[in-house]
Amino acid sequence: MFLVGMFLVSFVGAVIPDDCDYSMEAYWKFDGDATDSSGNNHDGSGWPGGVYVLKDGNAANFDGGDKIIIPDIGNFFQGGFAVEMWVQKNGTPATDSVLFKKGDYLIEYLVNRTIRVSVDGVNVNSGVLELGVPYYVALVWEPVSRALVLYIDGSSVGSVMLSSPSVYVGNVEIGGGFVGLMDEVAVYSRAFNEEEVELHYVLSDINKNYCDASGVGGLSMTKADFNIAGCSLPTGGGLAVDTCSRREIDGEYFCDNDAYLWETRESGYGCSLGLTSYTLGDPFCCPAGMFCNETSGVFRCDYRLEQCYNQTNEADCMAIGCVWLSEEGICADGTRDYSCSLYDNSAECLSDVWRLGKTGIGTEFCGSYVDCGDTSYTIPYDSCGCRWDADSGICELYMEASETYYDNSTAKKWFSCSKDYNISECVEGKQDVSWTSASIVYNGFPAICLDVMGCSDGTSTRMCGEPIVRLPGFGLFALFASVIIIGLYYVFRDRLEIRF
């Protein structure tokens, strides 16, 4: 379990468990006041008072003339965010009202009984909502895809492209002009995916708070690899759903959408990425130098008999279980030998069909902790991805890192990093790689840690394709010699058996 120290604080008011998402910046449960239950001390003023029930305890009841004000809570809107709340409109709307506002970031309830999100002139609207009915509302901006998405009751109801962050300074306003109940308002410094939004909706709909360790139906919602749903690895740590293992156990495990952990060298559906059907040439999960091979209707990773980088056309490439990257006419051992820079236009970059922003060159730090300068930093798996730079016309790898433990979110050290890779062809199992990096640091993030986390210019020569069989102290000549000796043994054994 990954626990963030800022959540280990006790409160006089609304006390929450220790399993809150690491990126939670503020959580106003409205259980009798506007206290921030996240531990970051973003307490509000202007509590309307009274005892009302909406979700998980008390709720705030607004009469149209009051509102809650929270002093500036920081600049985390710059690198992806999520805002969630429960809302119930009581009575016919007399005017447009504010549900949540911070600078140019505005969530409103309109007189036509719809919810509108506005950021710097970009709008997303919901459908018509019923009066007197509670709704779960979530707003998410994902910095890689640039999608600003509005969710109602766990489902997306609209999205729009927000090319860059807008003005975020100023106090937070909640409930201005609104008539009705609001509850469980929370803000996070990263984007949620659809599964996480749905989980928070289902969890809070049964009157549990967003941090309830018992989860839906009493099942734990402990996070693995910085994602709410995931698998526990035998080697320790966790693996996000729909993810192939990396680093020291590269390609050895796959965590499917049901949080079941597959060993890819064993017969099953691990190397086929959880799918019951698989065709050679499709993306797969295997250690380097292996391919996803069918064995009696299931699959497992087996060693190849030929090298991917020696194949010059798509048919030969796919026939031996390699991946043909049509954009460049390259036969690759999976996608670990390439980066987001492979894509040459915005559409390919943002769709990232080869998942280069999650598994390609430069993603080794994604979903991990890094210690630097006596401080622990977190690089969330979800922060990594391909991002199109319109100015340079280049598809870049993008990631973020921030302090794992901190007391004050406005003083939290963090950085964002984008990298452009120049990768040579794979020649005799090796390739030259060079890269240029651009970073933005906040609150004195130490420059030396940029080097530690790979966010600086550099060059290297790396192995590619991977040898057919890699055994310590066991060369290719020894392999062939062993095969010949074993073959001679069986030939002479058969002759001896015939003779006697």
Q: Is 483 strand, coil or helix?
A: helix
User: C-alpha angle 30/32/38, rounded to 5°?
Assistant: 45
Tokens encoding 290: 């292996």
Tokens of 484: 């010949």
C-alpha atoms less than 13 angstroms from C-alpha of 466 in its C-beta half-sphere: 21
Q: Which residue has 């002139």 as its token pair? A: 121
pLDDT per residue as tens digits for the range 385-436: 898 888 888 999 998 888 876 666 567 788 888 888 887 877 776 778 888 9
Domain boundaries, the chain: 5-213, 335-468, 474-500
Closest CA to 381 of 396, 369, 394: 369
Low-confidence ranges of the chain (pLDDT < 50): 1-13, 15, 17, 220-229, 466-500
Residue 213 has a pLDDT of: 58
Taking alpha carbons only, the member of 229, 227, 260, 263 closest to residue 245 is 263
The DSSP code for 257 is T
Q: Are 342 and 328 in contact (CB under 8 A)?
A: yes
Other CB atoms closer than 10 Å to residue 350's CB: what's the count? 19
Q: Tokens for 159?
A: 């999205």
User: 94 burial class (0-12, 13-18, 19+ CB within 10 angstroms)?
Assistant: exposed
Q: How far apart are CA 21 and CA 19, in angstroms?
A: 7
The pLDDT score that the predictor gives to residue 135 is: 96
Q: Alpha-carbon distance 285 to 263, whole Å?
A: 10
Biggest alpha carbon–alpha carbon distance for the chain: 105
User: How far is the CA of 116 from the CAs of 71, 99, 153, 231, in angstroms?
Assistant: 24, 10, 15, 37
User: What pLDDT does 46 receive?
Assistant: 92
- Could you identify the residue written with the tokens 């970009």? 122
Q: Return d(Cα 272, Cα 294) in angstroms, integer.
A: 9
Give the Cα separation of 373 and 429 in Å (integer): 36
Those residues whose C-beta lies under 8 Å from the C-beta of residue 7, and which sit 6 or more positions away, are 16, 18, 19, 20, 24, 38, 39, 211
**Nearest one of 347, 341, 304, 349 to 323, comparing CA atoms:** 304
pTM: 0.51
Backbone dihedral region for residue 80 (phi beyond 0: left; psi -120 to 50: alpha; all else: beta): left
Distances (CA, A) of 397 to 33, 417, 438: 43, 8, 10
Q: How far apart are CA 91 and CA 110, in angstroms?
A: 13
Tell me whether residue 248 is exposed, middle or buried, using C-beta atoms within 10 angstroms of its C-beta: 0 to 12, 13 to 18, 19 or more.
exposed
User: Which CATH number fits the domain 5-213, given the four candidates 2.130.10.10, 3.40.250.10, 2.60.120.200, 3.20.20.140?
Assistant: 2.60.120.200
* Contact residues for 352 (Cβ-Cβ < 8 A; gap 6+): 340, 343, 358, 385, 386
Listed in sequence order, the residues at least 6 apart from 411 whose beta carbon sits closer than 8 Å to its beta carbon are: 443
pLDDT, one tens digit per residue, over 53-70 is: 898 888 999 999 889 999
C-alpha atoms less than 13 angstroms from C-alpha of 306 in its C-beta half-sphere: 14
Measured CA to CA, the distance from residue 212 to residue 218 in angstroms comes to 9
